[in-house]
């Protein structure tokens, strides 16, 4: 690339969006297009898949125009480009055209890594778009969405939204937008429950919460609803495991303020308060029984049994009974 630009220059000659989170990839493209059209309302946008960018195509798209128009060229799934096309793209890095922004969307990983390395070496602006597989990442995403919009939401509301909606970032972003448009003042857990109660009942975390609270009938109802709406059994076993482990960690921790325990156990303070309420009927033996039940269910839903639904039902009942061990 002829010139290297600061990473915050949205109209840098080359932007590299790396990751597999579709929403974030699309936003990276939208940001560049919006900046280009702010600079020139007549900006020409060419959005191509990897198979549409053949050898010679990039040279045609970036060749000088009589009208010197600004242009944005988007290439999706750049990791799938042919070897000859990659040579063209690498050559373009050495002498990018004026008034043209090339946006490469790359999944990351080993495939097409040479193109990634070349773009980085040339000084491309890079935007990280990682797949958000961890609940904590999705929670941080929801909080960020509220901040960007300029709205206040309680930690419990953010967590309830993640529990209710699940892993789809587009749906999470849409929910944040809807709540921000419809609700005045601080958005709390009650507001989320009012809007997404049907979704919350189907949440794997709702199954876990009812089970560790000893509410077997409600947990089973939530489990059946979850499975009927397509929640993956493995997500439910994961939620059950998290719920039981949280009980075990807090029951063995030294007493103290929620903030101190949060630092010690790696939980947010609001979760400490919730788990304290849930653990009232638990004993150490009950935790051990519940952990074994979760392990058996996990094996059952991952191919170790003939009926994943039955494995989950057994685990839910065992956990709910363990939650009442101190009382009975």
Interval 7-64: pLDDT, tens: 578 999 999 999 999 899 999 999 999 999 999 998 999 999 888 999 999 999 988 7
Q: How far apart are CA 288 and CA 219, in angstroms?
A: 20
291 has pLDDT over 70:
yes
What is residue 228's predicted lDDT score, i.e. its pLDDT?
77
What is residue 306's predicted lDDT score, i.e. its pLDDT?
73
| pLDDT tens, position by position, 186-201 | 999 888 877 776 554 4
Q: How far apart are CA 55 and CA 172, in angstroms?
A: 39
209 has pLDDT over 80:
yes
Above pLDDT 90, what percent of the chain?
A: 48
| pLDDT tens, position by position, 109-121 | 899 999 999 999 9
pLDDT band at residue 224 using 50, 70 and 90 as cut-offs: confident
146 has pLDDT over 90:
yes
């Amino acid at each position: 690339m002829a010139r290297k630009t600061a990473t915050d220059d949205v109209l840098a000659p080359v932007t590299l969006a790396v990751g597999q989170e579709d929403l974030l990839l699309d936003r990276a493209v939208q940001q560049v297009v919006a900046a280009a059209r702010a600079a020139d309302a007549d900006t020409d946008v060419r959005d191509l898949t990897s198979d549409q960018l053949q050898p010679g195509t990039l040279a045609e798209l970036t060749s000088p125009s009589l009208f010197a128009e600004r242009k944005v060229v988007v290439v999706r799934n750049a990791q799938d480009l042919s070897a000859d096309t990659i040579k063209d793209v690498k050559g373009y890095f050495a002498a990018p055209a004026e008034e043209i922004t090339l946006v490469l969307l790359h999944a990351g990983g080993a495939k097409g890594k040479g193109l990634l390395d070349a773009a980085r070496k040339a000084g491309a602006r890079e935007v990280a778009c990682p797949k958000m597989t961890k609940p904590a990442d999705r929670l941080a995403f929801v909080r960020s969405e509220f901040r960007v919009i300029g709205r206040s939401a309680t930690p419990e509301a953010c967590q309830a939204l993640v529990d209710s909606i699940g892993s789809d970032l587009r749906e999470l972003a849409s929910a944040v937008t809807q709540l921000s448009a419809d609700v005045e003042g601080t958005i709390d857990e009650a507001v989320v429950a009012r809007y997404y109660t049907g979704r919350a009942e189907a949440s794997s975390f709702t199954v876990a919460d009812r089970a560790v609270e000893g509410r077997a009938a409600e947990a089973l109802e939530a489990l059946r609803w979850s499975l009927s709406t397509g929640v993956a059994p493995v997500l439910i076993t994961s939620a059950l495991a998290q719920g039981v482990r949280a009980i075990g960690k807090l029951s063995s921790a030294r007493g103290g303020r929620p903030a101190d325990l949060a630092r010690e156990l790696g939980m947010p303070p609001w979760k400490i308060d919730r788990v304290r309420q849930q653990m009232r009927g638990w004993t150490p033996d009950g935790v051990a029984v519940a952990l074994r039940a979760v392990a058996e269910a996990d094996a059952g839903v991952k191919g170790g049994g003939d009926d994943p639904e039955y494995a989950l039902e057994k685990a839910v009942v065992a956990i709910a009974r363990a939650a009442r061990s101190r009382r009975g």
